[in-house]
Structure formats: C-alpha cells, structure tokens
A and B are shown apart, each in its own frame.
Chain A
Amino acid sequence: MKRHISKLWHDRSSRIGLIIVGIVCICAVFAPILAPQDPFAQNLSKILKPPSLHNLLGTDFYGRDLLSRLIYGSRISLTVSIIATSIAVFIGIVTGLFAGFIGKWLDQIIMRTVDVLLGFPKLFILLLAVGFGHPSIWLTVFVLSLFSWMEIARIVRGEVIIVKEMLYVKSAIALGLSKKRILMRHIFPNVIGPIIVSTTLLIGTVILIETSLSFLGLGVQPPNASWGTILNQGRIDLVGGWWISTFTGIVVVITVVGFNLLGDGLRNIFDPKNSD
C-alpha cells in the first residue's frame, strides 16, 4: 500500500491528480474553517462585485461571496458524487461477480441488461427520471447510481472470467473449498485493482453529470449550492458578472481532470505489466 502511494507520487501527472483531489477533499471536509465568509449571508450593498481583495472571486446577485460558495459547493458536489459512485460500484461489483462466476443464463441476463442500459444516452435518461420525480439531492444520488454501475459490472465480469481460469482457482476447487470461499478469497481480491481504477474515473464522470443536472435545475436545489447550481445562477448574470460562471467552470474542470489523472496513475500501477 505504502509502495503504491509512493509510486503514485513519483509519476508527475498522477501526482498532480493526487494533489488536486486532495485539495478538493480538504475543502469539502473543512469548509466551515476554510470559507472566508458565510456562503448564505446576503449582502445587498455588494451585489455582483468583481473579484477584489475582500471577495477574492467576487460576489453574486445576492452579494454572497463566490469563493465561500464554491468551497461549500464542493461539499455537496463531492458528497453526491461519492455516494452515487459508491452505490454504483457496489451494484457493479455484485452483478459483475455473479455474471462472471456463475455464467450461463445469469451472465446472459445481466450482460444484456447492461448492453441495453448502455445503449441509452445517459443524460437523457437522467433528465427523464429526475423530471418525473421531485428534484432533490437524494433523487439525484439515486438516479446517478442507478445509471452508472454498468461499466463497473462489465469490467468486473471480464476480470472474473480471466481470474476464474487461473491455476490457483483450479487448485482451490481441487481442495474442495466452497464456492463462496473461492469467490471471496480467491477471485474477488484479484479483481480489486481494475475496480479501484474505474471507480476513480467514474467519480470524475459523475461529478460532471451531477453538475450538468444541477445546471439544468434538476439536481441540487437552492439555497443548497452545488457547483452546477452556482454555474446556472452565473449563467443568468453572465453579462453583469462573468466571474461567477468562469471561476465555477474552472473549478469543475480542474476537479474532473484531477480525478482522471489520478485514475490514469492508478491504472499504471495496477497494470500487471508495470508491477515488479
């Protein structure tokens, strides 16, 4: 584990990813300490002020400090994305393990379902699903996780099929071990690497989708501010206050790039060709 982290640190691009993800996570956890001002406090004397020493990234239409709102926004964006990704990964692991290990008709059912779900344009389905319900954080989480598990399931299934043919699995079968034990002790631990990689990449994607949903007004609702919500409000004031959308957009881009860089770095580590 320690070896892995130091390896991540020695690769330049994954180090950048690690730093970005670290900063975003610290912002989310320590938001009340780090935010210079109250993100909800309206100050009507300072409406739409451009970036200055007092408001580093300027203020919005209600005179709220943008920097503070972004820091608090990272809390919601990150929480929603991480919870949604965790649920998606869990569903993906369970379905992928069973599809690969049991195979036959179960494999057919699960993988054809995955094919069908992957065939839909994701954002369209999300809009439809959210549109039918009452927009809220939990609905966003639910919908995001329900439509993100397929790639994980596919990866896990593929890995399980490879590992299942390994001689150590054959030896375990020859020892007369139970199926449950073979699955949990011999197969699952050997497919974790690719799962970690795709999870990291998935978080980036989910952050982006969450932002899109909130931007369209179907995700997190005001006064709670996720990055998408802030972006959307910035759109209305784009002419009078360019800094709102611009800085928020930059933050989203940097975060997603950070997660992707980290994911690529992890992929290099878990690639068997690079292991020593």
Chain B
Amino acid sequence: MNPKHSKDYPVLKVSNLHVKYINRNRYNFHKSTEINAVNGISFSVKQNETFAIVGESGSGKTSIAMSILRFVKPAAGNIFFKDKDIWQIGKTDLQKLRRKIQPVFQDSNSSLNPRMSVGKIIGEGIRNNRNPQSQKKKTIELLKSVGLNEEHFERFSHQLSGGQKQRVCIARALAPKPELLILDEPVSSQDLSIQAHIINLLLDLKKKYKLTYLLISHDLQVVRFLADRIAVMKQGKFVELSEHNKIFTNPKHQYTKLLFRSSGIIRKD
C-alpha cells in the first residue's frame, strides 16, 4: 500500500519550527531586540485528525498558525503540507496550495468584509466564477451546511449575529474544498450556548467533508470536545504532547497540571 494513502500519513508536518519577531530600534541597531515566539517545534497532523495546541496567550500558538498560512516567515524549520514544503513552492503552486489550507479566525467581526454581501464573500472562494448560476447554488449549499439558509445570502456582516458571522467564516473556509482547517480560537469570542452550536457544527463538518483540523485555543473545554491529540505549549515550546484520553486523565508535566487546575478540569494533582 502506498504510504500516501495510509491513514497515518501526515497531512501537515512541522519540523523544528522557529519564529522570531524582531523589534527594530530605528536609531540604534544594537538595541534591536528579538522575541522568539516559536522555539523549535515539531509535530505532524494525521488525516482526519484534530490536533490541538493549547497554551496561555503569548505562548506562540498563533505564530505557528501564521507560519502555516504563510503570513509570517519562519526563522528556521520546515512546514510540509503533504509532501510540499509550503515555504519553498512556486507562485502557481502556492495559489493551489493556499486553497487547501483555510483559516477560521477568532474575531468574526473583522473576518468579514463589511462592504460585501455574504453571498459574495463565500462565492469568492468557489473557483468557477464564470457560471453565476451554479456559483449561487453552491454558495447556498454551503450556507445550509453551516446551518444558515438562502435568506442570509444577500445580507451584510452588520446584519448578522456573532454566531452567524462565525458560521459565514466557516462556510467561506469550506468554499475552496480545503483539506486542512486552521481554527484559531474559533469560538472564544462567542457566548456559551453559541460555542456549543459551533463546536457541534465543526464536528459534523469534519465528518461530512473529511477534514483535518489544527485547533488553536486557550479554552480547555473546547479542546476537550474537539481534539484527538493535544499539545501544551509554553514560551514557544511544547511541554507535553499526548492523546486526548491520556492527557486529561494523567497529565505529566507540571505546567499542564497547572493549566488544567486553573480551568477547573482537574481539582487536585
């Protein structure tokens, strides 16, 4: 059997990733400071898996997402999507590759262009723009699959509720038929009942479209519902990486225990 078709073949492979931010001092070069946001991280995400990265704010989890999405250039290390190094490929391949990795951000407010209707926003991701009829049909299909319907097609983002906005963001991410979704705090800005709806939606969509998720969150409850494997991150490094069951029943690292205790998942160590 070809290893590429095996279930354990990694969709995403990150090896020894470093991300640095340089704080340039305009007047004195020697006073410029470096911040190592991500400090030598390696992991791989298997097909149909949900891999979660948890950690407090400032631990560098979003920087990982930004490098995978090609928004922030890593200082060192490689990121492979299937077998392509995403920072080494050419321009035409990049366009295709980008469509395979789609983000859903935390702030659904600024994720939607205020001057475009929902239909247009989602329609942009559907490649075949030449046939407006079929594009509209596909857009409405997508809207329905995220729990919205035709009446939202003509709406603008200020006419939607927070939960609806996040659903539109998810629909847009699904439009180019991606394989990997990067969920950067996908429910953190929503209130609890909506969080539950969105989490269930994400679980359904994963099955329906055979998606792989890279989940980034500080919210352990969310991670508990969604993730198969969990990495705990602190100051740019993974302190623990384990299966869902193991990590919640038997956390190894002191920091993991601290994190779990502070969110009330375990009461004593």
Task: State yes or no: do A and B come from one complex.
Answer: yes
Nearest B residue to A171 via CB reads B111
If A166-B110, A168-B110 touch, whether A174 touches B98 (CB-CB below 8 Å) is yes
A residues less than 8 Å from B175 (CB atoms): 175
If A189-B115, A190-B114 touch, whether A167 touches B107 (CB-CB below 8 Å) is yes
Tell me the smallest distance from the CB of A39 to a CB of chain B, in Å: 45
The answer to the question of A173 belonging to the interface, with a C-beta cut-off of 8 Å to chain B, is yes
Tell me the smallest distance from the CB of A181 to a CB of chain B, in Å: 8
Judging by beta carbons under 8 Å apart, are B105 and A170 in contact? yes
Interface residues of B in 222-258 (CB under 8 A from A): none
| B113 CB contact (under 8 Å) in A173, A174, A176, A190 | A190
Judging by beta carbons under 8 Å apart, are A170 and B103 in contact? yes
Binary interface encoding of chain B residues 96-134 relative to chain A, with 1 for a CB under 8 A from any of its CBs, else 0: 101101110101001111111000010011000000000
Judging by beta carbons under 8 Å apart, are B125 and A175 in contact? yes
Nearest A residue to B125 via CB reads A175
B residues less than 8 Å from A167 (CB atoms): 105, 107, 110-111
Judging by beta carbons under 8 Å apart, are B69 and A174 in contact? yes
Judging by beta carbons under 8 Å apart, are B124 and A168 in contact? no
The answer to the question of A172 belonging to the interface, with a C-beta cut-off of 8 Å to chain B, is yes
Nearest B residue to A170 via CB reads B71
B residues less than 8 Å from A12 (CB atoms): none
Judging by beta carbons under 8 Å apart, are B172 and A171 in contact? yes
A residues less than 8 Å from B101 (CB atoms): 174
The answer to the question of B60 belonging to the interface, with a C-beta cut-off of 8 Å to chain A, is no
The answer to the question of B176 belonging to the interface, with a C-beta cut-off of 8 Å to chain A, is yes
Tell me the smallest distance from the CB of B143 to a CB of chain A, in Å: 17
Total interface residues on B, CB under 8 Å, equals 27
B residues less than 8 Å from A172 (CB atoms): 113, 124
| B176 CB contact (under 8 Å) in A175, A185, A189 | A175
A residues less than 8 Å from B113 (CB atoms): 168, 172, 185-186, 189-190
The answer to the question of A177 belonging to the interface, with a C-beta cut-off of 8 Å to chain B, is yes
Q: How many A-B residue pairs have CB under 8 A?
A: 56
Judging by beta carbons under 8 Å apart, are A190 and B115 in contact? yes
The answer to the question of B95 belonging to the interface, with a C-beta cut-off of 8 Å to chain A, is yes
Tell me the smallest distance from the CB of B81 to a CB of chain A, in Å: 13
B residues less than 8 Å from A175 (CB atoms): 98-99, 102, 124-125, 172, 175-176
The answer to the question of B12 belonging to the interface, with a C-beta cut-off of 8 Å to chain A, is no
If A168-B111, A168-B112 touch, whether A173 touches B105 (CB-CB below 8 Å) is no
The complex places the Cα of A174 from the Cα of B169 at a distance, in Å, of: 12
Judging by beta carbons under 8 Å apart, are A174 and B110 in contact? no
Judging by beta carbons under 8 Å apart, are B103 and A171 in contact? yes
Nearest A residue to B112 via CB reads A168
Nearest A residue to B97 via CB reads A176
Nearest A residue to B111 via CB reads A167
Nearest B residue to A181 via CB reads B124
B residues less than 8 Å from A168 (CB atoms): 110-113, 121
Nearest A residue to B172 via CB reads A171
B residues less than 8 Å from A171 (CB atoms): 103, 105, 111, 169, 172-173
A residues less than 8 Å from B124 (CB atoms): 172, 175, 177, 181, 185
Tell me the smallest distance from the CB of A179 to a CB of chain B, in Å: 11
If A170-B105, A171-B105 touch, whether A176 touches B110 (CB-CB below 8 Å) is no
A residues less than 8 Å from B102 (CB atoms): 174-175
Tell me the smallest distance from the CB of A185 to a CB of chain B, in Å: 7
The complex places the Cα of A173 from the Cα of B94 at a distance, in Å, of: 11
Binary interface encoding of chain B residues 161-190 relative to chain A, with 1 for a CB under 8 A from any of its CBs, else 0: 000000001001101100000000000000
The complex places the Cα of A171 from the Cα of B94 at a distance, in Å, of: 15
| A176 CB contact (under 8 Å) in B71, B96, B111 | B96
Judging by beta carbons under 8 Å apart, are B105 and A176 in contact? no
Tell me the smallest distance from the CB of A162 to a CB of chain B, in Å: 11
Nearest B residue to A169 via CB reads B113
Tell me the smallest distance from the CB of B32 to a CB of chain A, in Å: 19
Nearest A residue to B184 via CB reads A167
Nearest A residue to B108 via CB reads A167
Tell me the smallest distance from the CB of A177 to a CB of chain B, in Å: 6
Nearest A residue to B176 via CB reads A175
A residues less than 8 Å from B173 (CB atoms): 171
Interface residues of B in 58-103 (CB under 8 A from A): 69, 71, 94-96, 98-99, 101-103
Binary interface encoding of chain A residues 159-200 relative to chain B, with 1 for a CB under 8 A from any of its CBs, else 0: 000000011101111111100010001100110000000000
Chain B residues proximal to chain A, CB less than 8 Å: 69, 71, 94-96, 98-99, 101-103, 105, 107, 110-116, 121, 124-125, 169, 172-173, 175-176
24 A-B contact pairs sorted by A residue (CB < 8 Å): A167-B105, A167-B110, A167-B111, A168-B110, A168-B112, A168-B121, A170-B69, A170-B103, A171-B111, A171-B173, A173-B98, A174-B101, A174-B102, A174-B103, A175-B124, A175-B125, A175-B172, A175-B175, A176-B98, A176-B99, A177-B124, A181-B124, A189-B113, A190-B114
